[in-house]
């Protein structure tokens, strides 16, 4: 079987290298089951509600209170909406932490050696944080928000919920690309997530409008899908918007996210090829 | 398993000192080894920018000092939580938690040593916030009552160490240390008036906030920065020290209980 | 640094081939190359005639990888969940996947615990699940990297039995280990590897000879006044390489010839020393004794 310099060739068995149609989709789906198992092993309904949701609500309230320090109901609403929606993005960023576990748990080499590509596996692997992130922000925006003057009409509320889903899905794309980088440089694991998160908090119109910043920062903020999605939610809450501007922002968000998903998939495949070359895909990870 | 050991060693001053130094040294080594522990020192300046941006955007340059102080307090609490949680959790993963709790160097002393190291490092957070405010936004926060401020910082460091003791003991008793660690952040930032003074919270919350030493610390620090005379300095200092001590005592009692449990069962919780 | 050098090895189909060597010998590097997660800097490796570099896709369909220990499993999934996940990665779906998963669970005796989270499994059960996982793609070639690490003897025994069953199905197995006895127990042939080079490829019966030849006898409770006389008597036996007192009253006798160990035991009993035991030599010792003497050790 293995290495032989003699090169004597025997007839080799026929191997179907092409996988059946739909395998990629099934792999993504199988991975989402894995993701869901992770969530149910981490939280019970009670611990999610009391521990996780409670913590996120406290965080949103913490920032909204700054508005009351400033003595401005407008600022309270602005900060509340910003930090509530940020919570969804924050949870989507947990894709980095879940993805890097593949290295710690030693499954990465097995995934690499399997006949399918790596990206469909990791695409589905961390989706548990999407429903969780949407749920926390939903409770914050539509339930707790009332106490802070945040209100939606029924229709706009549903639309805003839809945009929250979009926040989760689009930021997940950014997180996936980030995770691909971190899988290569594991020491950056927590730094990458935390820095991304605070940068988003700073420049994406979460705490202060984009216009507060110099133009180059405003341009930079465009690379985060959150910037575009958050503007839509603010428009919906204000009740004064045109369909055109909403669709424009949503379109931009989707476009940016598609870019991130593509970058993420390419980086993951590159991780495999360079990893094979330099031996960084270890059987035993510390 | 080690009942004899537990009973034979008294917690003499020397044992405490040894444990304290061991913890201090261990933590300094950890800080050098794993950059993640210093993460809070990177997020602190970032948060300073966030808070300052909010103030400056609202035209409230007068509240800049709030924005500079808050991240440092946040970092202090976050690192104390992280260290006490990680200490307990990593020992548990090693299967050495029981050994640590009954080791000749008293557990409280080891924890205190580690927390002291962390607190000392976190105080850098104050310096960072101050520098970043000046560099990025040109905001210069002057400390009008430096001696009061210094007193507030020192007592706060002490209280942080004391509270971390209570936290560590809590983590010893429960397996869900990681989950707790995460949940004990923002609720405490709100109740501790870290950014917004607790007087802005609903009245019914006031008694609760006064049980959190951070609320006294943040009030005193903000007052020490401002130009007006600082009211009730002594009361604030006493309360900070008192609450820190209460934390340490609660921690001590809980650890002692854990010890008793080990004597009975040879393990802690359902490890 | 070169992890592997001048490795020339051919394993016929249907053989259980052991790769025996101490930690860091290059066993895992070889496994990584064969399982397509590492590219060799030079040289060629083929699985069933497919080149691991040029025909990666075909090789991946032909191989299964099995790790030892905790790594490589999704501990929060059930055993069935793990297998279903990997089945999808090997292009299986629907009834076909169900059938393969169920068959493997039954075959490896996991059907009772199929729907329990893996984190609650014993080491032996995890290892059986590892093997099931490795078999999910119905591979021609299985690569087992230290599969019995940390298993208790009974579980390891069971596991070896399962591995022998694979040969009966015509699969080729490459198994790495640093345990001579394990290699002896299940392999058709064994390759000794150290410092990235092949030292020798032997039949396990040869290993068996080494194990008995270099056995070590330990005697406890030798009265202090008799230590020197007993030592002298032992040293006089042919086949005894060395005698030393490892602790007061404890003698350790190294043998270096076939049938020497029983002679040592007999002599000790004759001398009235009954607290005796034989131990197997470890790999490092065999290396020093056998390979060192044959001048094949690469340092």
Q: pLDDT at position B178, please?
A: 63
Coil, strand or helix at B127 = helix
Q: pLDDT at position B97, please?
A: 64
Task: Determine contact, residues C90/A115, Cβ cutoff 8 Å.
Answer: yes
**Containing H/E element for C194?**
strand C189-194
What pLDDT digit, counting tens, does each position of B133-167 carry?
999 999 888 999 999 999 999 899 889 888 888 88
Mutate to test the interface with B, among A49, A70, A218 (most CBs of B within 10 A): A70
Q: CA C270, CA C267: separation in Å to the nearest integer?
A: 5
Token pair 């919270």: residue = B201
Give A240's contacts (C-beta < 8 A, 6+ positions apart). Answer: none
Chain A residues in contact with B63 by the CB 8 A cut-off are 69-70
The radius of gyration of chain A from alpha carbons, rounded to an integer in Å, stands at: 22
Taking the domains of chain C in order of start, what are their residue ranges? Answer: 16-210, 215-280
Of A87, A219, A115, nearest to C36 by C-alpha is A115
Q: Which residue has the higher pLDDT, C33 or C294?
A: C33
Pairing verdict, β C141-145 and C172-177: parallel
* C63 → closest Cβ in A19, A113, A276: A113
* CATH of the domain spanning C215-280, picked from 3.30.70.100, 3.30.530.20, 3.40.1210.10, 3.30.56.10: 3.30.70.100
The pTM score is 0.85
Q: pLDDT at position B268, please?
A: 56
C49: alpha, beta or left? (left if phi > 0; alpha if psi -120 to 50) = left
In terms of CA atoms, which chain C residue is nearest residue A101? C74
Q: CA B117, CA B102: separation in Å to the nearest integer?
A: 23
Coil, strand or helix at C276 = strand
What's the pLDDT band for C149 if we cut at 50, 70, 90? confident
What pLDDT digit, counting tens, does each position of A209-228 carry?
999 999 999 999 999 999 99
Judged against a pLDDT cut of 90, whether residue B82 lies above it is answered with no
Judged against a pLDDT cut of 50, whether residue C170 lies above it is answered with yes
Do chains A and C touch by CB distance (3+ pairs < 8 Å)? yes
- Phi, psi values for residue C170, rounded to 5°: 85, 10
Task: Determine contact, residues C241/C256, Cβ cutoff 8 Å.
Answer: yes
Of C168, C280, C197, nearest to C26 by C-alpha is C197
* B183 → closest Cβ in A51, A198, A209: A51
User: What's the 3-state SS for chain A?
Assistant: CCCCCCCCCCCCCCCCCCCCCCHHHHHHHHHHHHHHHHHHHHCCHHHHHHHHHHHHHHHHHHHHHHHHHCCCHHHHHHHHHHHHHHHHHHHHCCHHHHHHHHHHCCCHHHHHHCCCCHHHHHHHHCCCHHHHHHHHHHHHHHCHHHHHCCCCCHHHHHHHHHHHHHHHHHHHHHHHHHHHHHHHCHHHHHHHHHHHHHHHHHHCCCCCCHHHCCHHHHHHHCCCHHHHHHHHHHHHHHCCCCHHHHHHHHHHHHHHHHHHHHHHHHHHHHHHHHHHHHCCCCCCCC
Task: Determine contact, residues A88/A134, Cβ cutoff 8 Å.
Answer: yes
What pLDDT digit, counting tens, does each position of C179-223 carry?
877 888 899 999 988 888 888 888 887 777 777 777 888 999 899
User: In Å, how far is A11's CA from the nearest CA of chain C?
Assistant: 7
Task: Determine contact, residues C221/C49, Cβ cutoff 8 Å.
Answer: no
* Per-residue tokens: C272: 């009235």
Task: Determine contact, residues C182/C161, Cβ cutoff 8 Å.
Answer: no
Chain A residues in contact with C60 by the CB 8 A cut-off are 113-115
Q: What is the torsional sign of CA B119, B156, A65, A214?
A: negative
Q: What is the DSSP letter of B196?
A: S
Judged against a pLDDT cut of 60, whether residue A1 lies above it is answered with no
Q: What is the torsional sign of CA B166, B77, B219, B143?
A: positive
CB-based contact (8 Å) between B140 and chain A?
no
What pLDDT digit, counting tens, does each position of A26-64 carry?
999 999 999 999 898 888 888 889 888 999 999 999 999
User: In Å, how far is A37's CA from the nearest CA of chain C?
Assistant: 6
The pLDDT of C247-270, averaged and rounded, is 88
Q: pLDDT at position B102, please?
A: 62
Contact B196 A212 (CB under 8 A): no
CB-based contact (8 Å) between C23 and chain A?
no
Judged against a pLDDT cut of 60, whether residue A2 lies above it is answered with no
Q: What is the DSSP letter of B192?
A: T
Token pair 């989707």: residue = A254
Task: Determine contact, residues A137/A88, Cβ cutoff 8 Å.
Answer: yes
* Per-residue tokens: C231: 């030592």
What pLDDT digit, counting tens, does each position of B205-216 carry?
989 999 999 999
Q: pLDDT at position A265, please?
A: 96
Q: pLDDT at position B8, please?
A: 38
Contact A65 B190 (CB under 8 A): yes
Q: What is the mean pLDDT of chain A?
A: 92
Q: Which residue has the higher pLDDT, B57 or C240?
A: B57
What's the pLDDT band for B230 if we cut at 50, 70, 90? very high
Q: pLDDT at position C212, please?
A: 74
Q: pLDDT at position C123, please?
A: 87
Of the CA atoms within 13 Å of residue C220, those in its CB half-sphere come to: 4
CB-based contact (8 Å) between C191 and chain A?
no
Degrees, nearest 5: CA angle C193-C196-C201: 25
User: In Å, how far is A98's CA from the nearest CA of chain C?
Assistant: 12
What pLDDT digit, counting tens, does each position of C117-135 carry?
998 998 889 999 999 999 9
Of all residues in chain B, what percent carry a pLDDT higher than 70? 82
Judged against a pLDDT cut of 50, whether residue C295 lies above it is answered with no
Poorest-pLDDT segment among B249-253, C59-63, C89-93: B249-253
Q: CA B206, CA B204: separation in Å to the nearest integer?
A: 6
Judged against a pLDDT cut of 90, whether residue A111 lies above it is answered with yes
Judged against a pLDDT cut of 70, whether residue B271 lies above it is answered with no
Of B176, B18, B9, nearest to B110 by C-alpha is B18
Q: Which of residues 169-228 of A touch C (CB under 8 A)?
A: none
The string of DSSP codes covering C65-96 is EEE-SSTTS-TTSBHHHHHHHHHHHTT--HHH
Judged against a pLDDT cut of 70, whether residue B266 lies above it is answered with no
Task: Determine contact, residues C151/C159, Cβ cutoff 8 Å.
Answer: yes
What pLDDT digit, counting tens, does each position of B11-52 carry?
577 777 887 888 888 788 877 777 777 777 888 899 999 999
A173 C-beta neighbours (distance < 10 Å), count: 24
Judged against a pLDDT cut of 90, whether residue A107 lies above it is answered with yes
Burial of A82 (0-12, 13-18, 19+ CB in 10 A): buried
Judged against a pLDDT cut of 50, whether residue A3 lies above it is answered with no
Contact A201 B57 (CB under 8 A): no
User: In Å, how far is C158's CA from the nearest CA of chain A?
Assistant: 24
Q: pLDDT at position C287, please?
A: 65
Give A72's contacts (C-beta < 8 A, 6+ positions apart). Answer: B58
Neighbours of chain C (3+ CB pairs under 8 A): A
Pairing verdict, β C172-177 and C16-20: parallel
Judged against a pLDDT cut of 50, whether residue C271 lies above it is answered with yes
Q: pLDDT at position A251, please?
A: 97
Q: pLDDT at position B38, please?
A: 77
Judged against a pLDDT cut of 80, whether residue B270 lies above it is answered with no
Mutate to test the interface with C, among A107, A108, A114 (most CBs of C within 10 A): A114
CA C272 to chain centre: 38
* Per-residue tokens: B151: 């007193």
* Per-residue tokens: B221: 């620090």
Q: CA C132, CA C39: separation in Å to the nearest integer?
A: 27
Mutate to test the interface with A, among C89, C94, C137 (most CBs of A within 10 A): C89
What's the pLDDT band for B197 if we cut at 50, 70, 90? very high
Of all residues in chain C, what percent carry a pLDDT higher than 70? 93
Task: Determine contact, residues B73/B218, Cβ cutoff 8 Å.
Answer: yes
Q: pLDDT at position A69, please?
A: 94
Q: Which residue has the higher pLDDT, B57 or B251?
A: B57
The pLDDT of C30-53, averaged and rounded, is 92
Q: CA C168, CA B56: separation in Å to the nearest integer?
A: 77
In terms of CA atoms, which chain C residue is nearest residue A14? C58
CB-based contact (8 Å) between B187 and chain A?
yes
What's the pLDDT band for C293 if we cut at 50, 70, 90? low
Judged against a pLDDT cut of 50, whether residue A7 lies above it is answered with no
In terms of CA atoms, which chain B residue is nearest residue A74? B58
Name the superfamily (CATH) of residues C16-210.
Answer: P-loop containing nucleotide triphosphate hydrolases (3.40.50.300)
* C91 → closest Cβ in A20, A109, A276: A20
Task: Determine contact, residues C192/C202, Cβ cutoff 8 Å.
Answer: yes
């Amino acid at each position: 079987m293995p290495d032989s310099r003699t090169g004597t060739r025997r007839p080799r068995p026929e191997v179907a290298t092409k996988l059946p149609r739909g395998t990629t989709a099934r792999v993504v789906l199988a991975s989402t089951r894995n993701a869901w198992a992770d969530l149910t092993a981490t939280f019970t309904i009670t611990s999610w509600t009391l521990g996780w949701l409670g913590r996120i609500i406290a965080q949103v309230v913490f920032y909204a209170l700054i508005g009351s320090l400033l003595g401005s109901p407008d600022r309270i609403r602005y900060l509340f909406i910003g930090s509530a929606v940020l919570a969804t993005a924050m949870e989507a960023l947990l894709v980095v932490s879940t993805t890097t576990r593949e290295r710690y748990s030693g499954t990465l080499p097995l995934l690499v050696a399997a006949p399918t590509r790596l990206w469909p596996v990791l695409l589905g692997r961390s989706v548990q944080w999407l429903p969780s992130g949407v749920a926390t922000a939903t409770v914050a925006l539509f339930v707790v928000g009332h106490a802070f003057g945040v209100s939606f009409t029924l229709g706009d509320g549903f639309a805003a919920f839809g945009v929250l889903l979009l926040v989760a899905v689009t930021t997940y794309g950014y997180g996936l690309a980030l995770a691909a980088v971190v899988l290569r440089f594991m020491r950056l694991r927590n730094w990458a997530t935390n820095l991304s998160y605070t940068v988003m908090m700073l420049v994406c119109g979460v705490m202060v409008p984009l216009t507060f910043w110099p133009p180059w920062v405003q341009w930079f903020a465009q690379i985060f899908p959150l910037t575009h999605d958050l503007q839509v939610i603010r428009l919906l809450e204000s009740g004064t918007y045109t369909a055109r501007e909403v669709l424009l922002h949503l379109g931009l968000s989707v476009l940016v996210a598609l870019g991130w998903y593509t970058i993420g998939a390419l980086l993951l495949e590159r991780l495999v090829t360079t990893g094979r070359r330099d031996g960084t895909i270890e059987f035993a990870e510390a | 398993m080690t009942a004899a050991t537990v009973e034979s060693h008294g917690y003499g001053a020397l044992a405490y000192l040894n444990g304290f130094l061991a913890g201090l040294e261990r933590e300094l080594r950890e800080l050098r080894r794993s950059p993640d522990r210093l993460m809070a020192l990177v997020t602190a300046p970032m948060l300073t920018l966030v808070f300052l941006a909010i103030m400056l955007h609202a035209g409230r340059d007068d509240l800049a000092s709030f924005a500079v102080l808050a991240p440092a307090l946040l970092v202090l609490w976050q690192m104390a939580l992280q260290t006490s949680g990680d200490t307990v959790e990593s020992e548990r993963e090693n299967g050495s938690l029981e050994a640590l709790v009954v080791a000749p160097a008293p557990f409280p002393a080891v924890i205190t040593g580690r927390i002291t190291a962390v607190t000392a490092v976190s105080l850098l957070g104050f310096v960072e916030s101050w520098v970043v405010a000046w560099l990025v936004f040109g905001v210069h926060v002057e400390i009008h009552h430096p001696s009061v401020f210094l007193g507030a910082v020192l007592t706060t460091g002490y209280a942080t160490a004391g509270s971390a003791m209570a936290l560590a003991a809590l983590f010893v008793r429960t397996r869900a240390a990681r989950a707790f660690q995460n949940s004990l952040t923002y609720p405490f930032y709100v109740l501790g008036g870290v950014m917004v003074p607790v007087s802005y919270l609903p009245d019914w919350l006031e008694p609760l906030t006064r049980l959190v030493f951070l609320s006294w610390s943040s009030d005193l620090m903000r007052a020490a920065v401002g130009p007006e005379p600082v009211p009730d300095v002594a009361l604030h200092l006493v309360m900070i020290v008192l609450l820190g001590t209460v934390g340490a005592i609660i921690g001590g009692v809980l650890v002692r209980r854990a010890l008793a449990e080990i004597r009975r069962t040879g393990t802690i919780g359902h490890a | 640094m070169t992890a592997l050098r001048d490795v020339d090895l051919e394993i016929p189909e249907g053989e259980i081939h052991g790769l025996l060597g101490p930690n860091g010998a290059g066993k895992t590097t070889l496994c990584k190359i064969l399982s397509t997660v590492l590219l060799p800097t030079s040289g060629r490796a083929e699985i069933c005639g497919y080149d691991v570099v040029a025909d990666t896709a075909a090789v991946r369909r032909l191989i299964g990888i099995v790790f030892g220990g905790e790594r490589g499993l999704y501990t929060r999934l059930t055993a069935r969940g793990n297998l279903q996940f990997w089945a999808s990665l090997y292009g299986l779906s629907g009834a076909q996947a169900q059938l393969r998963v169920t068959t493997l669970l039954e075959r490896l005796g996991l059907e009772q615990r199929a729907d329990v989270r893996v984190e609650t499994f014993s080491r032996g059960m995890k290892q059986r699940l590892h093997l099931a996982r490795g078999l999910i793609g119905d591979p021609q070639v299985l690569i087992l990297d230290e599969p019995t690490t940390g298993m208790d003897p009974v579980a390891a025994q069971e596991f070896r039995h399962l591995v022998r069953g694979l040969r009966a199905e015509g699969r080729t197995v490459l198994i790495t280990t640093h345990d001579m006895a394990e290699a002896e127990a299940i392999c058709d042939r064994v390759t000794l590897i150290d410092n990235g080079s092949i030292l020798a490829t032997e039949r396990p019966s040869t290993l068996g000879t080494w194990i008995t030849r270099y056995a070590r006898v330990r005697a406890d409770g030798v009265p202090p006044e008799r230590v020197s006389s007993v030592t002298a008597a032992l040293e006089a036996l042919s086949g005894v390489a060395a005698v030393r007192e490892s602790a007061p009253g404890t003698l350790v006798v190294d043998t270096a010839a076939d049938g020497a160990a029983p002679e040592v035991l007999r002599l000790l009993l004759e001398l009235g020393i009954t607290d005796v035991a034989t131990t197997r030599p470890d790999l490092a010792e065999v290396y020093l004794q056998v390979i060192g003497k044959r001048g094949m050790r690469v340092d």
